[in-house]
Amino acid sequence: MINDPFESSVIQIKNAGAKLGLSVSELDRILEPQRVVKVSFPVKMDNGMINTFTGFRSQHNNARGPYKGGLRFSPDVNESEVKALSSWMTWKCAVADVPFGGGKGGVIVDTKTLSKTELENLSRSFVRAISDVIGPTKDVPAPDMYTTGEIMDWMVDEYSKIVGSKQLATFTGKTLGNGGSEGRTEATGFGGVVVLEKLSEVKQLNPKETTVAIQGIGNVGQYFAIFAKQKGFKVVALSDSKTAVYNENGIDVERIIKFKEQNKTLVGMPDVTFISNEALLELPVTVLVPSALENVITKDNAEKIKARYIIEMANGPLTPEADEILHKKGILFIPDILSNSAGVTGSYFEWYQNMHNEKWTKDDVLHKLEDKIGSAFDAGYKMMMDNNTDMRTACYMIAIKRVNDAMKDKF
């Protein structure tokens, strides 16, 4: 089984590249990141000691615009992960047709072991370490795993001190009072439901009869659940890392989210039926939405999947082997580079507002998101039908062609 995220991304690119008839040299230019920066930097701790941390910034491709992608603070951050994620960001930006390229970065750290002061020191020190490779027209980081709007505010402030002027557009995902955008928090989940609506249109699904199971109750999963229910779809399952709540007749999404917020877990929630995360993936639902972890559907459980459609809201929840099995079973899966691309699209909107000194309303943002993601779905679905392939390969074909054409114009 392929567990390495970068290896998985290479397979996906090669599959689409072959369909497009790309040459070996054209493929070579888009497989590897253009630059991977590794830094070691000092951080002052509360006890006065200086600890050294390691961080990365992978810059995959900037043919269509500045590198764009999140920064994560996690003990599991590694070079292969940020390389794969920076590649995915390139294709995500291209398939959504926003003028960015792909970047990703992070620091190897367990934020639970840090005080708030130490976290701020770490954030500022990391910015100093990578300041020469980022900037509003060069590379625009954003929040990711275990990073927040407040951390982006610290980073903007530190970067602005380094260059000597306020540079709000260097980071997105900031707090609203510091150049952040309305609608950014819910953008990814909202965009996923736009995909769900487009899917229901082309497959002539009745929302009231369309059952939806969502793995993951983080920001993306919970907003997907909220918007899906608002649009009339029947959400029947929702999970956190420990357990899942299931009711074939529909669950009380708001009550479950409120319980999770208050108790930090779904375990112990009264008057609900619990199933395992593994069982959630195998439910006989219309639409399965993996929005938590990568590699949750593999060659080992793909045959057990009973959903008719899958919308990937996490990054890389299906392995390449699973893709092949599911496609043969006739299950249509909407790839992450399309279905969760509203996140980076929302980030682009924030960057644009900062660059042009504008401030849009939430309704403006969500309306623009709906147009962008809807158009991206239409293009992907047409490419899939025209080329008799799966939706992932079709979306990669669109993205790779756009990037390859931009590279031809530059070189």
**Residues known to be catalytic:** 104
- Angle at the Cα of 81 from the Cα atoms of 75 and 116, rounded to 5 degrees: 35
Could you give the CA distance from residue 57 to residue 53 in angstroms, rounded to a whole number? Answer: 14
Could you give the CA distance from residue 72 to residue 389 in angstroms, rounded to a whole number? Answer: 34
Cβ atoms 188, 342 nearer than 8 A:
yes
175: Cβ–Cβ under 8 A, 6 or more apart, which residues?
A: 149, 150, 152, 153
Supply 185's token pair: 């928090």
161: Cβ–Cβ under 8 A, 6 or more apart, which residues?
A: none
Which of 344, 372, 57 lies closest to 181, judged by CA?
344
Radius of gyration over every alpha carbon of the chain, rounded to an integer in angstroms: 21
DSSP string, 19-78: HHT--HHHHHHHHS-SEEEEEEEEEE-TTS-EEEEEEEEEEEE-SSSSEEEEEEEETT--
Supply 408's token pair: 């031809």
CA dihedral in degrees (362, 367, 371, 377; nearest 10)?
70
Cβ atoms 206, 196 nearer than 8 A:
no
Which of 312, 307, 308 lies closest to 289, judged by CA?
312
Our measurement of the distance from residue 365's CA atom to the centroid of its chain's CA atoms, rounded to an integer in Å, reads 18
